[in-house]
């Protein structure tokens, strides 16, 4: 088989769409999936013929390495539909390069860009009725790779499965988010996998986050593992702080996810002539700013979360409420981002990718 033959995806269409059973107005994030899924196996040292088939349960050997060692990486991206029915992705090439960076760190083979882009666009063309128009509606897309070797020796797999599944989505967090600043647990460490969208990064947060949730917080803002003094990210979101009129966010590193929404917001800040500082920011700096009234906003950014304002944070038993601002940066960036994504605003930086 020629390399180029592989771009031709084997397609088996669903006999009947499930779409009429879905209540799009009342959808819980990530619970409902579209009619089709994309899969491509890595066997004998190469990616095989990609396939699109009806969304279905699959059979995997219980010894598959993904179950034992968490050798798995994923991406989060969204498709949007404008009022003329055209479907767009947002910076999809960045998701492709990021999944390959994550994959390399987890000793997973890189997935070719042509397969990724062709897989996405073919799948979206089949399932385009699932992308609802209107700001606030989107189709969440989850590309991921799992290690499928039937072998429980602790070593990288020789076989993998790359997949794309899609789920209609509304807001991930409704309303504002209360956050707890980490003092004991850590999300990532120097030289670790914090920058990667590795499945295990998320599993490791579930227990501390569930403790925080019992105390009324939706999320934890993770701090550096050494001193717990510097603010890093919120696990499902990167995090921004506004002190007076300056926006501050931590630099990416091997501990922090290089968020696509994060870097879009940094660009939008520049476009709007807002002072933006990408630098380390300490817990004591924001506590002092909260005390003296100069801390105006905290918000998180992420594909699923879009832009989520933080209404309060707690650290060392002290709680700080953050008053709602009418002219917040969070609402300005959210509006501009959603309008760019939905083809309602000029796309100065070529972020929109039309799915044809």
- Mask 225-244, x = binds ligand COI (CB under 6 A)? -----------x--------
Q: What share of the chain is helix, strand, coil (3-state, %, to 5)?
A: 25, 30, 45
Min dist CB 123 to ligand COI, Å, is: 17
Shortest distance, position 188 Cβ to ligand COI, whole Å: 15
Q: How far out from the chain centre does Cα 97 lie?
A: 14
3-state secondary structure of 263: helix
CB within 8 Å of 263: residues ≥ 6 apart: none
Instruction: Name the segment binding ligand COI (CB under 6 A); options: 59-67, 160-168, 300-308, 346-354.
Output: 300-308
**Span from 119-127, 219-227, 302-310, 323-331 in contact with ligand COI (CB under 6 A):** 302-310
- 155, 13 Cβ separation under 8 angstroms: no
The residue from 202, 246, 280, 345 that contacts ligand COI (CB under 6 A) is 202
Specify the residue, 219 or 315, whose C-beta has the smaller distance to ligand COI.
219
Piece of 2-10, 16-24, 303-311, 347-355 that binds ligand COI (CB under 6 A): 303-311
Contact at 8 Å (CB) between 209 and 264?
no
Q: Which is nearer to ligand COI, 7 or 202 (CB)?
A: 202
Alpha-carbon torsion (320, 244, 254, 147), positive or negative: positive
Q: Based on the shown chain and the rule CB under 6 A, indicate whether residue 95 belongs to the binding site for ligand COI.
A: no
Write the burial class of residue 273 (CB in 10 Å: 0-12 exposed, 13-18 middle, 19+ buried). Answer: exposed
Name the nearest CA neighbour of 253 among 194, 182, 197: 194
User: Which of 76, 109, 194, 208 contacts ligand COI by CB under 6 A?
Assistant: 76
List 302, 307, 315, 341, residue binding ligand COI (CB under 6 A): 302
Residue 76 CB, nearest distance to ligand COI (Å)? 2
Helix, strand or coil for residue 208? helix
Nearer to ligand COI, 157 or 301 (CB): 301
Decide whether 71 or 149 has the Cβ nearer to ligand COI.
71
CA distance 101 to 251: 17
CA 287 to chain centre: 28
CB 274, min distance to ligand COI, A? 23
Q: How many CB atoms lie within 10 A of CB 55?
A: 16
d(CA 311, CA 320): 9
Total site size for ligand COI, rule CB under 6 A: 7
Which of these ranges, 37-45, 92-100, 179-187, 298-306, lies near ligand COI under the rule CB under 6 A?
Answer: 298-306
Residues lying near ligand COI in the complex (CB under 6 A) are found at: 76, 202, 236, 302-305
């Amino acid at each position: 088989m020629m390399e180029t033959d592989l771009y031709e995806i084997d397609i088996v269409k669903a006999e009947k769409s499930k779409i009429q059973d879905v209540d799009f107005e009342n959808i819980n994030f990530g619970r409902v999936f579209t009619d089709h899924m994309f899969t491509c196996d890595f066997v004998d040292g190469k990616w095989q013929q990609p396939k699109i088939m009806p969304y279905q349960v699959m059979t995997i050997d219980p010894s598959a390495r993904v179950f034992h060692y968490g050798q798995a990486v994923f991406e989060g991206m969204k498709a949007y539909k404008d009022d003329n029915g055209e479907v767009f992705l947002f910076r999809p090439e960045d998701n492709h390069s990021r999944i390959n960076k994550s994959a390399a760190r987890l000793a997973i083979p890189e997935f070719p860009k042509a397969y990724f882009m062709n897989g996405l666009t073919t799948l979206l063309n089949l399932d385009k009725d699932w992308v609802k128009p209107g700001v606030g509606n989107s189709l969440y897309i989850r590309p991921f790779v799992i290690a499928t070797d039937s072998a429980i020796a602790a070593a990288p797999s020789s076989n993998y499965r790359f997949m794309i599944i899609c789920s209609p989505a509304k807001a991930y967090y409704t309303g504002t988010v209360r956050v707890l600043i980490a003092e004991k647990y850590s999300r990532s460490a120097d030289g670790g996998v914090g920058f990667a969208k590795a499945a295990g990064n998320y599993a490791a947060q579930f227990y501390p986050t569930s403790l925080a949730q019992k105390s009324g917080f939706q999320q934890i803002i993770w701090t550096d593992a050494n001193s717990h003094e510097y603010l890093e990210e919120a696990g499902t979101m990167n995090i921004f702080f506004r002190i007076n009129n300056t926006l501050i966010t931590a630099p990416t590193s091997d501990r922090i996810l290089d968020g696509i929404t994060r870097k879009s917001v940094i660009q939008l800040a520049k476009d709007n002539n807002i002072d933006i500082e990408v630098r380390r920011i300490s817990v004591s700096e924001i506590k002092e700013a909260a005390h003296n009234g100069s801390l105006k906003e905290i918000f998180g950014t992420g594909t699923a979360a879009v832009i989520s304002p933080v209404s309060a944070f707690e650290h060392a038993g002290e709680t700080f409420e953050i008053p709602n601002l009418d002219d917040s940066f969070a609402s300005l960036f959210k509006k501009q981002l959603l309008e760019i994504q939905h083809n309602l605003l000029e796309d100065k930086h070529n972020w929109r990718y039309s799915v044809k």
